[in-house]
Structure 1
Amino acid sequence: MRSILLVALGGALGAVARYGVALAGLRWGGPGLPWGTWGANALGCLLIGLVLPLVRHDDARLAGVVGFLGAFTTFSTYSADTVLLWETGRRGLAVANAAGSVLVGLLFVGLGLVIGRRLAAG
């Protein structure tokens, strides 16, 4: 139960932070590109890179990495997983993870849009 509460607390803070970055992106960059998403993903990647080697305590990892960064951006986790695969010599898996995640994400968003639009149309 403690682990769940730590993840929930970190997740709540990460979601609020993500919302703040999204608002800042709109304010500073305008509605053209999704600047808030870019900002959250870049900052999340920087933070996970800083945190992973420094934080050893399980509670801090649960609240900070799984909770906060998980809610702030899953892109940071995907990126960290890919880099760690590369660093441990599993380069084929790293490339497959990088390319496959993007491809599957695009395909599933497209599929979701098709299904959602059909449901919305009645």
Structure 2
Amino acid sequence: MTAVELFAVALAGGVGAVVRFVVDGLIRDHVRASYPVGTTVINVTGSFLLGLITALAVGAALSDDWRLIIGTGFLGGYTTFSTASFETVRLTQTGRYAAALANGLGMLVASVAAAALGYYLGSLSGS
């Protein structure tokens, strides 16, 4: 990896983190819930986009450099497994076991399904 690629991934990661912060704030402003809706939306949409980016890269519609910058950098900064894990523990600690299960397992299932859908749709561009 060149210094320019490293800088681009780092910059994209910072932008992704800022976008995550803004999207989460917008969701919190519009959806009043004790369930972490923002983190769920962010992780599922990020997984979808990563699936799409991966399929485009595999099909040579997107260069490996852009896959790295967008997938590792931007989407790595945008998605947040650590926050999801923390929120699952917090829900468990407050006795909200069904919400914790929905957050932990439900987000995992939804994220994998979204990634598969993104990959499928991205692979259609190579057909």
Q: Check whether TM > 0.5.
A: yes
Shorter-chain TM-score category? 0.5 to 0.7
> Post-superposition shift, 1:74?
4.9
Match of residue 94 from structure 1: none
Q: Does 1:2 align with 2:8?
A: no
Q: Distance in 1 between matches of 2:72 and 2:20?
A: 15
- 1:60 corresponds, among 53, 63, 66, to 66
Matched, 1:71 2:77: yes
Are the equivalent residues in 2 in contact too, given 1:22–1:37 (CA < 8 A)? yes
Structure with bigger gyration radius: 1
Question: Which 4+ runs in 1 deviate beyond 3 A?
Answer: none
1:91-118 deviation line (CA, Å, top 9, x unaligned): xxxxxxxxxxxxxxxxxxxxxxxxxxxx
Any residues of structure 2 matched to 1:72-91 within 5 Å, and which?
A: 72-75=78-81
- Identity of paired residues, percent? 38
Question: Structure 1-normalised TM-score?
Answer: 0.57
Q: Tell me if structure 2 keeps the 8 A contact 1:18–1:72.
A: yes
1:46 maps to what in 2? 48
CA contact (8 A) 2:9 2:69 kept: yes
Structure 2, unmatched stretches of 5+, are 82-107, 117-127
Structure 2 counterpart of 1:51, which letter? I
Question: Alpha-carbon deviation of 1:58?
Answer: 2.0
Consecutive unaligned residues of structure 1, counting only runs of 5 or more, are 85-122
Residue of structure 1 in register with 2:36 after alignment = 34
Q: By how many angstroms is 1:31 displaced?
A: 4.4
- Does structure 1 residue 17 correspond to structure 2 residue 19? yes
Q: For this pair of structures, how many residues does the alignment match?
A: 80
